[in-house]
Structure 1
Amino acid sequence: MSAVMITRKATRKWEKLPGKNTFCCDGRVMMARQKGVFYLTLFLIVGTCSLFFAFECPYLAVHLSPAIPVFAVLLFVFVIAMLLRTSFSDPGVLPRALPEEANFIEMEIEAANGNVLAGQRPPPRIRNVQINNQIVKLKYCYTCKIFRPPRASHCSICDNCVDRFDHHCPWVGNCVGKRNYRYFYLFTLSLSLLTIYIFAFNIVHVVLRSVDSGFVNTLKETPGTVLEVLVCFFTIWSVVGLTGFHTYLISLNQTPMRTSPSTLGMDMSTSPFSFGPFRLKSTSGIEIFGPEIDGS
């Protein structure tokens, strides 16, 4: 009598994630469902750099230095690597409460607030915690059935709560949060350098060739130069400005306005997360300020 062995494939956690994300490579790649703008970003970077390598680099390598195309290639590879790392990473999705946990929280809230009459709006669900001797209000997520940690937020596009949520960036096709923020910042920083680099050497290339061939003949011989200059010119203002803004936030250990002190129930002039411009301050540890649910 032979025993029949039945093997079942184990269900991974990402296969049960209720959010609106897409996965591939056995869950190693995680992106939002709307990826059209991400492909546009990839096309603009690859297309602009390809034109630069085809039209400007051969001339600049001979007449100036062969290090120019080498550095451009290294910078291009780093930009693409940081873009893909940001786009394919888990931004810091917070797991939703299990049914037992959700029922316990609901019972705890009902015990604190009492029964709400039909037609009346229930009071806000808030829990107080203490961070660096300051009281911070944690908001309840009705979708994930959890009290979100400080500076976490629910992304309406991906339908997930994300820890240290910065924003949902369609240009990278993913949310930007705790686990991929560093790669997003390195992407914007390196893209700023690459854009300025290509723009500057485009100008140098046109000036050098115009001395010998004339300005009009130079543009005819390198038709991609005009397109590169236009793309870089409009990209510089947005990307460099974004990089500067996030550099400022990093220096103070802050996130954008959605998690400013006022949204956390604190005075606008203070923040328990701020390092300050010239000093470091530990923000580790969150102390629960009483088990009660504040419904006021």
Structure 2
Amino acid sequence: MTPGGGSGPMKDCEYSQISTHSSSSPMESPHKKKKSVPKRKWEVFPGRNKFFCNGRIMMARQTGVFYLTLVLILVTSGLFFAFDCPYLSEKITPAIPAIGGILFFFVMGTLLRTSFSDPGVLPRATPDEAADLERQIDIANGCSSGGYRPPPRTKEVIINGQTVKLKYCFTCKIFRPPRASHCSLCDNCVERFDHHCPWVGNCVGKRNYRFFYMFILSLSFLTVFIFAFVITHVILRSQQTGFLNALKDSPASVLEAVVCFFSVWSIVGLSGFHTYLISSNQTTNEDIKGSWSNKRGKENYNPYSYGNIFTNCCAALCGPLSPSLIDRRGFIQPDTPQLAGPSNGITMYGATQSQSNMAAATPLLQSEPSITSEELPLPGKTSLSGPCATLTLGQPTPPSSMPNLTSDSGLTDIIPLKEEHEGHQFLTPEEAPSPPGLLPSGSPIAHSRTMHVLSLASQDSLHEDSVRGLVKLSSV
């Protein structure tokens, strides 16, 4: 205490509470780094596609015709509900606008489901997978290193007794599954590829074919429905006021009739064509190429057909929907950090991944504690190398940097100078020294060369040669 009361320096002390929840350490930087937001897979998708709503909507890049399809359906149906349905519901029945509304919503639902979904895109091979596949192709075709011969890029599989060729995709670096093909507009391999439809703005494949078929089938019914009742509306009005006056009273009906007349033929024809494809279990791509025949007796019969129209339709329209293979909304996983090599200057020459794994599991390839000048063996002191002491009798022992020294041997020259190891030869299993347990502790070690003082440079050189010898022995 200071004289004069409690108004001394102790009174002016302020205490700050130390936060125990702080995760900072003395080794961390005082400036906090900004956390990087992980990217989703659709943001780096290699194909030519457009994504909306954080990857939930997937479409082709060329979507101009899709918007035209959307405008034609919306305008034609809107004019029908606004100008024709009030008169028809009053003169005939209120069920007409109700049925038209059900058809309209079903058409729009199937159209958006076809356009906004993944058609069955196959993921591309990673660089490691592509390199491994290239090695398999070279081995299977016996490519020699003497001259370059491009290997064939096909595989053959048997499906229901029919030989099917699997073609190699040079863009995706994969062998495409049966019935898959590469779309040149979207730049993707699509499973059970049917065709690329610009009217829906997407490819038509395994995952959206049933919705495409229901779209064109329901659109055919809606077009015929609107066209029939527009003509009915005009006829009923013409009976009252004449044909020309009926056209003047309802000009929207004329526009609807013209649009439906020119579109109904193509839509109905397309629906019939795909009904035939579904009944025979074919795709548009296979039918155009003439890949299969519907007759079982022929050599190129369709191996995917069940032989029954009803079964083929159920398989195409009622089968389970396969999940998406590209996981476009998933997060990109960061690369796995590579294990750092030993810090004592060991170099792995020509090591493959399997050899690296072997080195990680082998105690001899792990980093040994470095020997400093203070830890040099003195005469009369016995020392053993750390890793060598853990070996069993059944394992070969490479040349150790610190062999057994007995008290009678004295300071001997075990490691030649660095320049003397230029002609170093690897030891064979027969020439490898015995494990430490088999060497008598009292046997002297004779040397014919001049003794040298153990230096750090010679230790590193011998350690490197020892590892090389072990890798050579392991490869043999």
* TM-score, length of structure 1 as denominator length: 0.88
CA contact (8 A) 2:137 2:151 kept: no
Q: Which one has a larger percent strand, Structure 1 or Structure 2?
A: 1
SS at match of 2:38: coil
Determine the structure 1 residue equivalent to 2:9. Answer: none
Deviation string for 1:157-189 (max 9, x for gaps)? 000000011111000000000011111011001
Separation (CA, whole Å) in 1 of partners of 2:158 and 2:281:
18
Whether the 8 Å contact between 2:193 and 2:285 is mirrored in structure 1 is: no
- Residue equivalent to 2:173: 145
Deviation at 1:260, TM superposition (A): 7.4
Alignment of 1:41-120 (within 5 A): 41-113=69-141, 114=143
Structure 1 range deviating more: 36-45 or 1-10: 1-10
* One-letter identity of the residue aligned with 1:274: S
Higher RCO (C-alpha under 8 Å, 6+ residues apart): 1
**Distance (whole Å) between structure 2 residues aligned to residue 259 and residue 17 of structure 1:** 31
Q: Give 1:262 deviation, angstroms.
A: 6.0
Question: Do the aligned residues in 2 keep the contact of 1:151 with 1:259 (CA within 8 Å)?
Answer: no
Gaps of 5+ in 1: 285-296
Q: Which residue of 1 aligns with 2:255?
A: 227
Q: How many residues align?
A: 281
Deviations 1:84-142 (A, max 9, x none): 11000000000001111100111122223326967x8x454101112123221100000
* CA distance in structure 2 between the partners assigned to 1:169 and 1:202 by the alignment: 29
Q: CA deviation at 1:261?
A: 8.5
- In the alignment, structure 1 residue 172 sits paired with structure 2 residue 200: yes
8 A contact 1:32–1:173 mirrored in 2:
yes
For 1:180 and 1:144, how far apart are their aligned partners in 2? Answer: 21
Q: Which of the numbers 252, 268, 272 marks the counterpart of 2:303?
A: 272
1:35 aligns with 2:63: yes
Show structure 2 runs of 5+ residues with no match.
1-21, 25-31, 293-297, 320-476
Q: Is the 8 A contact 1:261 1:271 kept in 2?
A: no
Q: Which residue of 2 aligns with 1:155?
A: 183
Return the alpha-carbon distance in structure 2 between the equivalents of residues 202 and 115 of structure 1: 73
**SS at 1:34 equivalent:** coil
Distance 1:110 1:192 in 2: 52
In 1, Cα distance between equivalents of 2:119 and 2:247: 44
Normalised TM-score (structure 2):
0.55
C-alpha displacement of 1:256? 1.8
Structure with the higher fraction of residues in helix conformation: 1
Q: Measured at CA, do residues 2 and 59 of structure 1 come closer, stay the same or move farther in structure 2, by a change above 3 Å?
A: same
Which amino acid is 1:272 matched to? P
% same residue: 60
Contact 2:103–2:218 (CA<8 Å) still a contact in 1? yes
Whole-Å Cα distance in 1 between the matches of residues 219 and 250 of structure 2?
Answer: 23
Distance 1:268 1:174 in 2: 34
Counterpart residue number, 1:250: 278
| SS of residue matched to 1:22 | strand
Alignment check: 8 A CA contact 1:260 1:268 kept: no
Which structure has the larger Rg over C-alpha atoms? 2
